[in-house]
Structure 1
Amino acid sequence: MKNLLSTLTLAIGMVAGGQALANDYPNKSIEVIVPFSAGGGNDTFVRALQPLLEEQLGETLVIRNIAGGGGAVGLSRGVASAADGYTMMAASTGMLSLEAMGNVPFTHEDFDFIAKVVEEPYLLAVSSESPYQTVDSLIEAASSGSVRVGVSGIGSSAHITANAIANITSSNFNLIPYPGGSEAISAVMGGHVEAVVLGGAELRSGLEAGRLNALATTYAERSDNLPDVPTFQESGYDLTISVWRGLVGPQGLPDDVKEQWVAAIQQIVEDGSYEETANNLGTELAPLYGDELDVFIDESAAIMLEAAGDLAK
């Protein structure tokens, strides 16, 4: 009996101790892995959120850029970390494109999704000096001959989206991957490619300067940030893909930890403290949490897998 009581006491103590640790979260700095280099869309997204999240969570966020493999290196490092809430990751459409291409040791089910915070459309864009100033004129040219289209990286979400555009419009696109979006933009401005497919935030400065013209967006409806740019849907093409950005942890986060992160982001979204910054970055607030987020991620993964088509292994 004495041994039984000792065992029960130890077990209860371990449970209580674990609960105390969860309730005490966070009690030290939190690492947030950005799986891309500093200055990119994922990096600026997280750094803009950083002071707001620190205020809500009451702890320091240490942002760590781990680039390589189109995001695969950083995400692989993060997903293998302890699921204690002290290693989180910036997430985006790109993680689903990696999964669709079949060249990473993880799927979206290996992550605990905290929130989708912002979205932006992909754009099919050309130089302002291009002879193709409508999506129909570019597609017509691509039906009779090859049109060079720049994208950011082999197997990137932009690459997969451009492939989907080519397939759904029956266009003969010669897809040319560049190391990043800035190189692809330089290529279209310099006449080395006829068009690019990139996220709206990456193209924002070129559009505002009048050096680029967006022919169509991949949103279902026109973007609030780009109200004059038609959608592919308007031209009769059933294509809807977005660039989303959010935060994730490794699968198995304690409920209390997950709830604190969700509550922090909800407060930031609801009090309007991030909205102006999001718009200035060329993105739009589009928050999702919980079951709705899980459904969105499952559907997005399926869309990306279909869009990858013959690009996937």
Structure 2
Amino acid sequence: MKTFASRILAGLLCALALPAAVLAQAVYPNRPVELIVPYPAGGGTDVLGRAFALASVKHLPQSIVVMNKPGASGAIGWADVINGKPDGYKMVLLATDLMTQPNMGFTKITYEDFTPIARLNYDPAAITVRADAPWSTVEEFVIAARKGDFKIGNGGNGSTWHLAAAAVEDKTGAKFNHIPYAGANPAILALLGGHLDAITVSAAETYAYVAGGKLKTLAVMSDQRIKGFEQVPTLKERGMDISIGTWRGLAVNKATPPDVVAALRAATAKTVQEQSLRDALDKQNMGYAYADGEAFGAVMARDHAFYKGLINKLGLKQ
């Protein structure tokens, strides 16, 4: 009888303890959340990720820890998230490369492997050269590029910045030797070191060097002139109908539970209102462009189709 009574008592104790255990598991987040930045430190995506992590401290009970996992134009970082446990403890800061890489045939990962949290930013591409380069206008640059094999740096094969340069070739007859790097910042450093003729990364990522007199931007690939580059023409102003840039936004594994997704979306909506985040974007001259989860998902679907058409037109699919 004692053994039987002991078993009943143990069962009752387990039953009483179960709700507390379930409740502990349900609280999200109860440990730090990793934010995977699939590019090297120092670039625009990294700057945004770190600024967001700092600004989020008031709106999540746990900290966000930024982890740089660069390579393959973002695919290494994306794979880390979609192959990880879908519990919301790994977010990723996506960029438009997710629209170009699968359409180029470089990866099978697509935007459909993720659940969008929110878009945070948008920046147009730009044609940037060293300050001592012999071209003062984009027209002079294009004329020179038609005669030779210019070395143009980008953020990796199939990256948005690669597509931006390819679009310039298509519209102008310029001939480029496309040099891939593991992100925008390494390409910028290569240009500063005299290893490239130009780069086609975002204007925001070159802003500090342009302001410091080390680089000059000949044109931006946007519909209108942008803040910080008011004296720089758009390609459209110069008769080249090209408008290409990158957005950056948060996402998680597509199998992440809806309640966790909702918690992250709510915290993000509050975080983007923090002045510290806006100040960090302004300091880098990066464009604020918030879109909630549903709207961000629509942007990804639209851009996936756009880049598929562009890549097929240019014959770039591998």
> What TM-score comes out, normalization by structure 2 length?
0.84
Contact 2:39 2:183 in 1 (8 A): no
Does the alignment pair 1:269 with 2:272? yes
**In the alignment, structure 1 residue 305 sits paired with structure 2 residue 308:** yes
- Tell me the residue number matched to 1:125: 128
SS at match of 2:134: coil
The range that moved more, 100-109 or 139-148, is 139-148
Give the match's secondary structure for 2:234: coil
- 1 CA distance for matches of 2:81 and 2:187? 29
Structure showing greater Rg: 2
Alpha-carbon offset, residue 290 of structure 1:
3.1
Pick aligned residue for 1:159 from 156, 162, 165: 162
Match of 2:222 among 219, 222, 226: 219
Tell me, in whole angstroms, the C-alpha distance in 2 between the residues paired with 1:251 and 1:157: 23
The yes-or-no answer on 1:137 pairing with 2:140 is yes
Change (3 A) 1:183 1:107: closer
Are the counterparts in 1 of residues 116 and 294 from structure 2 also a CA contact under 8 Å? no
Superposed displacement of residue 27, structure 1: 2.4
Decide whether the 8 Å contact of 1:150 with 1:176 is kept in 2: yes
Secondary structure at 2:125 match in 1? strand
Unaligned runs of 5+ in 2: 1-18
The partner residue of 1:58 within 36, 56, 61 is 61
Q: Paired residue for 1:258?
A: 261
CA displacement at 1:155 relative to structure 2? 2.6
In the other structure, the counterpart of 1:116 is 119
The residue matched to 1:311 in structure 2 has which SS? Answer: coil
In structure 2, distance between residues paired with 1:22 and 1:307 = 46
Question: How far apart, in 2, do the equivalents of 1:86 and 1:180 lie?
Answer: 25
Q: 1:165-176, aligned counterparts within 5 Å?
A: 165-176=168-179
User: Given that residues 149 and 175 in structure 2 are in contact (C-alpha distance below 8 angstroms), is that contact kept between their aligned partners in structure 1?
Assistant: yes
One-letter amino acid of the structure 1 residue matched with residue 134 of structure 2: P
Q: Is the Cα contact below 8 Å between 2:119 and 2:292 reproduced in 1?
A: yes
Task: Tell me the percent identity.
Answer: 31
Deviation, structure 1 residue 94: 2.2
Contact 1:222 1:229 in 2 (8 A): yes
Q: Is structure 2 residue 84 aligned with structure 1 residue 102? A: no
Question: 1:23 and 1:79 mapped to 2: Cα distance?
Answer: 22
Q: What SS does structure 2 have at the residue aligned with 1:53?
A: helix
Residue type of the alignment partner of 2:199 = V
Q: Secondary structure at the match of 1:27?
A: coil
The amino acid across from 1:289 in the alignment is D
Deviation, 1:190, is 5.0
- Matched position secondary structure for 1:274: helix
Q: Match of 2:52? A: 49
Whole-angstrom distance in 2 between the partners of 1:39 and 1:215: 23
Q: Secondary structure at the match of 1:287?
A: strand
1:238-249 correspondence runs (5 A): 238-249=241-252
Does the 8 Å contact 1:225/1:279 carry over to 2?
no
Distance 1:99 1:82 in 2: 23
Alignment match, 1:147: 150
Where do 5+ consecutive residues of structure 1 fail to align? 1-15
8 Å CA contact 1:126, 1:133 repeated in 2: no
- The worse-fitting range, judged by mean Cα deviation, of 160-169 and 175-184 is 175-184
1:105 maps to a residue whose letter is K
Letter in 1 for 2:281: A
- Mapping of residues 169-184 of structure 1, within 5 Å: 169-184=172-187
Q: What is the rounded CA distance, in whole Å, between the counterparts of 1:183 and 1:36 in structure 2?
A: 10
CA deviation after TM superposition for structure 1 residue 303, in Å = 2.6
Name whichever of 300-309 and 89-98 sits farther off. Answer: 300-309
For each residue in 1:85-126, what CA deviation from the matched residue of structure 2 results, as whole angstroms up to 9, or x when unmatched? 122111112222222221213111111111110122211012
Instruction: Report the Cα distance in structure 1 between the residues aligned to 2:38 and 2:216, rounded to whole angstroms.
Output: 30
Deviations along 1:21-78, one digit per CA (max 9) or x if unpaired, are: 7963222222222222333332221111112223201112232222322221121120
**Does the Cα contact within 8 Å between 1:48 and 1:277 map onto a contact in 2?**
yes
Cα RMSD (Å): 2.5
Aligned partner letter, 2:252: G
Local SS of the residue matching 1:106: coil
Q: Note closer, same or farther for the CA distance 1:210–1:298 as it changes in structure 2 (3 Å cut).
A: same
